[in-house]
Amino acid sequence: MRTCDCNERHDRRRIVLTGGPGAGKTAVLELIRQSFCAHVKVLPESAGIIFGGGFPRGEAIEFRESAQRAIFYVQRELENMADTENPAIVLCDRGTVDGAAYWPGGVGEFFSSLGTDLDKQIGRYHTTQSFIFERRPWMGGTIVAILCGLRQPSRRRQLTR
Ligand SMILES: [Zn+2]
């Protein structure tokens, strides 16, 4: 990380990189972390914190749901914490929307289980470009891990097809 003597108050932009395992997110983020100054914050992946920290794994629906909720809350708090350090850009290794692709009961149920909705969560993110599309075979090849930052419903529809 390069040092930087800028003292301005930044207008923070939160950007999500999302994608399947092996899509290259972590490598890209590591390169960014090394190349930019401290005002570009790169967050760790919350799923890695949860599972790496020993959160139980299991195939039962209750296990999978608990894990996805835990990942959501950790992600949200990582983002909240990053905001306190005057970042210009916060880069997220997946965002609060990603869990919808892993939720056994589908996208709508994921967000209602968390007391929120897709629009609110997408609204947390700024970017409309920096994401990698992810398909989940068990969702019939139709839907997907979503596209953080896509605020225009028409584009979102196009991309979730
Ligand atoms: Zn800087």
Residue 117 Cα, ligand 1 centroid: separation in angstroms?
33
Residue 135 Cα, ligand 1 centroid: separation in angstroms?
36
As a whole-number percent, the residues of the chain with pLDDT over 70 amount to 74
Residue environment code for 100-127, b if the CB has 16+ CB neighbours within 10 A, otherwise e: bbbbeeebeebbeebeeebeebbebbbb
Residue 43 Cα, ligand 1 centroid: separation in angstroms?
16
Residue 11 Cα, ligand 1 centroid: separation in angstroms?
12
Q: DSSP characters for 34-80?
A: HHSBTTEEEPPPHHHHHHHTT----SSHHHHHHHHHHHHHHHHHHHH
Residue 39 Cα, ligand 1 centroid: separation in angstroms?
4
Residue 38 Cα, ligand 1 centroid: separation in angstroms?
6
Which tens digits make up the pLDDT trace of 99-142? 998 899 988 999 999 999 988 998 898 864 334 444 443 333 33
Residue 18 Cα, ligand 1 centroid: separation in angstroms?
25
Per domain, the residue ranges of the chain are: 38-133
Say what the pLDDT of residue 22 is. Answer: 63
Once rounded to an integer, what is the mean pLDDT over residues 7-17?
86
Residue 4 Cα, ligand 1 centroid: separation in angstroms?
5
Residue 105 Cα, ligand 1 centroid: separation in angstroms?
42
Q: Which pTM value belongs to this model?
A: 0.77
Residue 8 Cα, ligand 1 centroid: separation in angstroms?
9
